[in-house]
Structure 1
Amino acid sequence: MHKLNLLYVEDDIEALEDVVFLLKRSFSDIYTASDGEEGLSIFKNNSIDIVLLDINIPKIDGLQLATEIRELDEYIPILFISAHSDTINLLSAIDLRAISYIIKPFNINELKNSILKAIHIVNKDKNKSNKIFLNNGFYWDNYKTELTYRTELLALTKNEILLIKHLFENRNRFLTAEDLKEIIFPEKKVEANSIVQMLSRLRTKIIRKINNDNFFIENIYGNGYKIK
């Protein structure tokens, strides 16, 4: 078993159960959803390594769901399952950098080989060193979602990791507290001020840890937050 998590979104319950039974030995956890909205919520609130999507799912279809997931994580392997092989869907899947487009009814080995390919990609990426210099001695590894100061690994909460990851992946623009709230607390009725407080606590924690006033997130009044 690989220490990886899979998100599988499928509205055909029988097909979902069959695939989960087939793949359960390959993953630590398999998260399932029967529609796109539920799938997006699970993705935002859990650590997902690979995404398997049926295209024709309710509320948010598989292609739109993949588009929203790509906005949150540009590297995660995405695989599609579809009962149709029309060119438009296939081209959309290519645009979303899907690693497989599996047509129903599919051969079991075809699915297994596609999943093994995705696992290989994730494991290869996780072993990479992808430290990006931020400023003043801070480095961010977007594959391992780790923050270091010089050579010291800094302890972060799950929400702090989501916060930094999203700021990093949008590092060429400012994000407001409202923008960040929608990513970190998508299903919770919280005020944008919760993000302001989180950033303040993170800044205080890091400044105390490194014993100086350096910080890698800037806040410009009226614009929002951005990685320096």
Structure 2
Amino acid sequence: MKELIIQGEVLLHNNFKNLTILYVEDDLEIQSNIKKILDLLFAEVYIANNGKEALDIFKTNYIHIVLTDYEMPYLNGYELTQQIRQLSEHIPIVILSNHTEKEKLLKCIPLKLTNYLEKPLEYEKLMDSLNKCKEQLENKDLLNIQITKELAYNMGTKKLSKEFEIIELTALEIDIFEALLNKKNQVIDKNKLISLANSKTTGFTEGSLKNIIYRLRKKVGKEIITNYKNMGYCLKVIKV
């Protein structure tokens, strides 16, 4: 009954439905329980069992929020956050720990954490921290992703712009475009994209996907979305 109540409360919070989160936890039971909540909130939840896995995921995907345990193998939460801060100065990071030891708290202050939570994790405190993360993303304009010098996409407003001109996208175009964007510079299997579209509509086929990709390429440029024959598609993000 308690789990059903929490699920109902989670569904009322749609503030994160356009966002991704990286959750790092080596305790598989805790990981499973928290993932159930995060899956209801976020567009995509990336899971890592240790700091090294987490860093690899962070480098190859668009991550908006990081929620990480402190004590874990290879890289602990402090070391992982140090590495992430070298790649992103402002991404919101929340560290979890079994003990609110003063030494750990003081050590983490220079890393500009959004919050530091004690385990076992309380639902209300988790939601409060995630809302702070969302505010931080908005205040720092971190939801605006620069794809090329001229092309940008805002995950919050779901608006694509090219040289300050808004490019209109349909709902399905947005879903496919965001799926490609979240896996920057990686090939996404066409069947995964078809499955994604069919979760939102009915009768979406490989031909439907080719039509969506054709329309997107006309809007953003052929060089941005590459077709890998019999495999899938890749959206290329060019560092500017």
**Counterpart code for 2:118:** I
Letter in 2 for 1:7: L
* Runs of 5+ consecutive residues of structure 2 not aligned to the other structure: 1-13, 156-160, 167-180, 186-222, 224-239
From 78, 83, 107, give the equivalent of 1:92.
107
Task: Please list the CA deviations of residues 103-149 of structure 1 after superposition, one character each: whole Å capped at 9, or x if unmatched.
Answer: 11232111111112112222343488899xxxxxx6798988xxx99
Q: Which amino acid aligns with 2:68?
A: L
Q: 2:134 aligns with which of 119, 123, 137?
A: 119
- State the partner residue of 2:169: none
Confirm or deny that 1:19 pairs with 2:27: no
TM-score (norm 2): 0.55
* Equivalenced residues, count: 158
Partner of 1:134: none
2:77 counterpart of 1:75: no
Q: Given the superposition, is the C-alpha separation of residues 33 and 120 from structure 1 closer, same or farther in structure 2, using an over 3 Å criterion? A: same
Kept in 2: contact 1:80–1:93 (CA 8 A): no
Q: Which AA in structure 1 matches 2:138?
A: N
Q: Which residue of structure 1 aligns with residue 172 of structure 2?
A: none
Q: Does 1:30 align with 2:45?
A: yes
Q: String of CA shifts for 1:197-219, please: whole Å, max 9, x gaps.
A: xxxxxxxx8xxxxxxxxxxxxxx
Amino acid at match of 1:85: T
1:117 and 1:150 map into 2 onto residues whose CA distance is 31
1:199-214 to 2 correspondences below 5 Å: none
- The one-letter code sitting in structure 2 at the alignment partner of 1:84 is H
Task: Say whether the 8 Å CA contact 2:144–2:153 is kept in structure 1.
Answer: no
Identity among equivalent positions (%) equals 33
TM-score normalised per structure 1: 0.58
Residue 110 of structure 1 corresponds to which residue in structure 2? 125
Q: Once superposed, what is the RMSD of the aligned Cα atoms?
A: 3.6
Task: List 4+ stretches of structure 1 deviating above 2 A.
Answer: 123-131, 138-144, 148-153
Aligned to 1:54: 69
28, 42, 60: which one aligns with 1:45? 60
Query: How big is the shift at 1:92?
Result: 2.2
**Structure 1 position 41, deviation (Å):** 0.3
